[in-house]
Chains A and B, each alone.
Chain A
């Protein structure tokens, strides 16, 4: 396996279900991200784990909760979602340095397409 792998690629869930999205990176990067991609809208950053410290976008509803057990794995736990949460959820990783002076290019996974009924 190389790059960033996301599972499942497609997920359909009801509003009362609990499910999780998984992301794994094989690049030795030290930062991982969750993004939400909706049609014709900019990518929305949801959560960042950088040097094992989590930062988050305060506008993310609590029905989304991230988990980062180590620098290679990232989860997004989903519960009691709403239909408007239907979107493509992209995971990304990068090699961040403390000075943030480099390009710090993101490597994305192919995404998990979520449909909430």
Chain B
């Protein structure tokens, strides 16, 4: 079967750095997505990786290793507004999105 694993919950301190991991086992690979979802709000697109390596967007970076079936989302200079759930999703060989259960990130002052 197809599976996406990510930690259920993480806690970090304001101003620090946090890395949220995502491992996947899917039938084929056609890209990996990260979405952010604040409580009671719509998930919003953060990043898309289809080739190995690091993609940087301001305070957020996303890394992909296709050979290891592994990605991480790196958040720097954490702010209280970064408290949210972070969803990892992989597009498989049929271009279907397989979703992880999300990681709830709690930022403490």
A residues whose Cβ falls under 8 Å from a Cβ of B: 4, 40-43, 45, 90, 100, 103-111
Contact = CB atoms under 8 A, between A and B. Distances in A.
Given A100-B95, A103-B31, A103-B48, A109 B100 contact: no
B86 to A, nearest CB: 13
Contacts, number: 43
Given A103-B48, A105-B48, A42 B101 contact: yes
A3 to B, nearest CB: 8
Given A103-B31, A105-B33, A105-B48, A43 B42 contact: no
Contacts of A104: 95
Interface residues of B, number: 24
Interface of B: 4, 8, 30-31, 33, 35, 40-45, 48, 50, 87, 89, 95-102
A88 B98 CA distance: 18
Contacts of B43: 90, 106, 108
